[in-house]
Structure 1
Amino acid sequence: MESKINFRPSFAKKWLVIYVRPRWEKKVDKLLQEQGIESFCPVRNVESQWADRKKMVSFPLFAGYVFVKINEREEYRVRATMGVLNFIYYLGRPAVVRDNEIEKLKYIADSYHDAEVVSLDELSKGDKVRIKSGLFHDQEGRIIQIQGKHVLMSFDNLDCAVVTRVSVNNLMLTVNQQQQYV
């Protein structure tokens, strides 16, 4: 019995993930679309404040990554695009993302403009954090316990012991008087 190996490239388009240069996500997305390649770079909107004004700024939801819907013949064009570093691989082949997952991401990006991807690995018990918005806006405290995507925290500078449950997305890690968004 003979087994036939198919060496012809597949013409079926699939969503793949590419890794891009730091802070080049939106530029690579634009360059790919200018070439007629379907790409998707979900963004979140953040209000930034300078000394003289406030402005809405959009940041990529996934830092360093852009999604492309291509077939095998278009892989070279994507690789040759300025700012593209490589495809993300899984089991030796470019990682494929299901169409319904991309549709969910598009829905989230369109519906929740302030959505944010947060790594829980960056927070640990005892970390000093600042609340970004809400009832306790700009209050600093320490993490007592991490509960899924929420933390229990205590406030340092209040005259009484207040413990509250706060969403990880609403916290900013404070390190050596510099603020870093989590």
Structure 2
Amino acid sequence: MTESVTKRKWYVVYTRSRWEKKADQLLKEQGIRSFCPVVKTQRKWADRNKTVEFPLFSSYLFVYADLREQVNVRQTAGIVNFVYHCGKPAVISENEIERIHDIIQCYPDVETMSLPAFQVGDKVKMKNGELMNWKGEIVEIHGKSVVMIIEPLNCALVAKVKVPRAALAIQ
């Protein structure tokens, strides 16, 4: 067997809507390593408050598989297909998987937002970090960083903020 067939990598798979945790469980029952990052959120019903777990990435999860196991992944209930990039299944590095795991451990209220959600001119509020609760306006976007002006006490402060999405909230 060649090394390329038996070498496992982390892949991104697309799931049916609201099947992320179930598909993750089904993959694990088959002995396929998978990762469905979840965050805990407080939900309020009329009669009680409850902590519930939601997948961090809606309709996506990660699988650690080789070429032979990819067939089993595709045949698992709830899995639609692999996510493709440049005609091949998208591969995620082990470091990125670890970073996602670390982020959900350190920031239990993290949420994902697509990059186009932030635009120049948006009013935002820092949700955590040293500038927590400061409000500002986005004036430039550079990749995964934004430049924003924060105006406390009638003075302007330009801050370049690395964007894990948990850091900013649109006002």
Same fold (TM over 0.5): yes
1:83-141 Cα offsets, whole Å, 9 max, x none, are 10110112211111111111111122223222211224235578899999x979xxxxx
1:78 corresponds, among 69, 73, 85, to 73
Name the structure 2 match of 1:33: 28
What's the CA shift for 1:59?
A: 1.1
Determine if contact 1:42/1:109 at 8 Å carries over to the other structure. Answer: yes
Q: Is the Cα–Cα contact under 8 Å of residues 21 and 64 in structure 1 kept in the other structure?
A: yes
Preserved contact between residue 14 and residue 97 of structure 1 (Cα < 8 Å): yes
Give the match's secondary structure for 2:68.
Answer: helix
Aligned equivalents of 1:54 and 1:77: distance in 2?
39
SS in 1 for 2:5: coil
Identity of aligned residues (%): 43
Is 1:42 matched with 2:67?
A: no
Structure 1: gaps of 5 or more residues = 1-5, 137-142, 154-166, 174-182
3-state secondary structure, aligned to 1:10: helix
The answer to whether the 8 Å contact 1:18/1:65 transfers is yes
Counting matched residue pairs gives 156
Equivalent residue, structure 2, for 1:101: 96
Render the CA deviation track for 1:43-96: whole Å, top value 9, x for unaligned.
111111112111111111111111000000001100000010110112211111
Equivalent residues in 2 for 1:97-136, closer than 5 Å: 97-124=92-119
Paired residue for 1:65? 60
CA distance 1:144–1:131, change in 2 (3 Å): closer
Which residues of structure 2 form unaligned runs of 5+? Answer: 151-162
Which letter maps to 1:95? A
Structure 2 contact 82–89 (Cα < 8 Å) conserved: yes
Which residue number in structure 2 is paired with residue 18 of structure 1? 13
| Alpha carbons 2:23, 2:76 under 8 Å: kept | yes
- Alpha-carbon contact 2:124-2:137 (below 8 Å) kept: no
Tell me how far apart the structure 1 counterparts of residues 147 and 53 of structure 2 sit (CA, whole Å): 25
Counterpart of 1:157? none
- Measured in 1, the distance between the counterparts of 2:19 and 2:147 equals 31
The SS at the match of 1:113 is coil
Q: Distance in 2 between matches of 1:65 and 1:33?
A: 16
Q: What letter is aligned with 1:93?
A: K
Match in the other structure for 1:160 = none
- Root mean square deviation of aligned Cα: 3.6
Amino acid at match of 2:6: F
